[in-house]
Amino acid sequence: MPGTAWGADGVLPVAARATAPRHSAIVRVTHWITAVAFVALLVSGIEIIISHPRFYWGEEGTVLTAPLFSFPIPSSRSIVPTGYGYVLPDQNGWSRYLHFEAAWALVFTGVVYAFFGTVSGHFRKNLSPQATPRHFAGTLADHLRLKRPPDAEAWSYNPVQRLAYLAVIFVLFPLLIWTGLAMSPAFTGAIPATVTVFGGRQSARTLHFLLSVSVVLFLIVHVALVWRAGFRNRVTAMITGRVRARRGAE
């Protein structure tokens, strides 16, 4: 933020917190669009898995192919061998449509966020993991114990959070998008390398699922830590942009 002096540890000094916005408008808007899109992707993705709860490796994968792994759940398609004597209602149509639309909403939002983060210095100022190994190890230990963070961290991300966010933003999300595109015949027809690098369309689908599980695990931990740190205050900051300082807090 222009004109504001940040501490060497990346935490805003107490005197500057009363007037300093915690999150910019772009960060807040892209955060909530991403959250809504991800929920839509999760719900529709579960429905897509139910239609064929088997995963393969390589280019081909059918009911006659031995799966790499599968889920012991009923399917919404009678041709899929699951061991159950019934099938679930077929929701494959709307789920694939919603998955596609939500995925593009996430992609466009991510492009806006990445552009803003680069031009404004958001990544450098707020997500650069400036910490000694000892500080990082101590912060990680506090996270594992679900220790309530100090009030000062309401104005800044700690080193573990910064690395986790960077991993999600620059590793997991790009790979999710890539593996998703690798399952599109139209896209791979134009750029075959997007799927051949994974060894085939079924490999891309399996990796897409495993990456999705990783993001879900991150989300669970993220919400748990937000709750532990003060759910109301942290969510309010992501809506209004400002942190409500507790009286006497330093």
Which domains, ranges and CATH numbers included, belong to the chain?
Answer: 18-240 (1.20.950.20)
Give the pLDDT confidence score for residue 216 in this predicted structure.
Answer: 95
**pLDDT at residue number 58:** 93
* pLDDT at residue 36, rounded to an integer: 96
Q: Which residues share a beta bridge with 69? A: 55
pTM value? Answer: 0.81
Taking 60 as the threshold, does the pLDDT of residue 110 lie above it?
yes
| pLDDT for 143 | 59
Q: Residue 20 pLDDT > 60, yes or no?
A: no
pLDDT at 196: 94
Note the pLDDT tens digit of each residue in 161-188: 788 889 999 999 999 999 999 999 889 9
Confidence of residue 16 (pLDDT cuts 50, 70, 90): very low
pLDDT in tens, 69-93: 999 999 999 999 898 989 999 998 9
How large is the average pLDDT for residues 102-113? 95
User: How high is the pLDDT of residue 248?
Assistant: 42
Q: What is the mean pLDDT of residues 65-71?
A: 94
* Spatial distance between the Cα atoms of 154 and 137, rounded to a whole number of angstroms: 20
- At 151 the pLDDT is 59
- The rounded mean pLDDT for the chain is 83
pLDDT over 70, % of the chain: 78
Least confident residue range of 52-61, 108-117, 121-130: 121-130
In whole angstroms, what is the distance from residue 33 CA to residue 35 CA? Answer: 5
Mean pLDDT along residues 142-166: 68
Per-residue pLDDT band at 149 (split at 50, 70, 90): low
pLDDT at 197: 94
| Dihedral sign, Cα of residue 189, residue 191, residue 192, residue 196 | negative
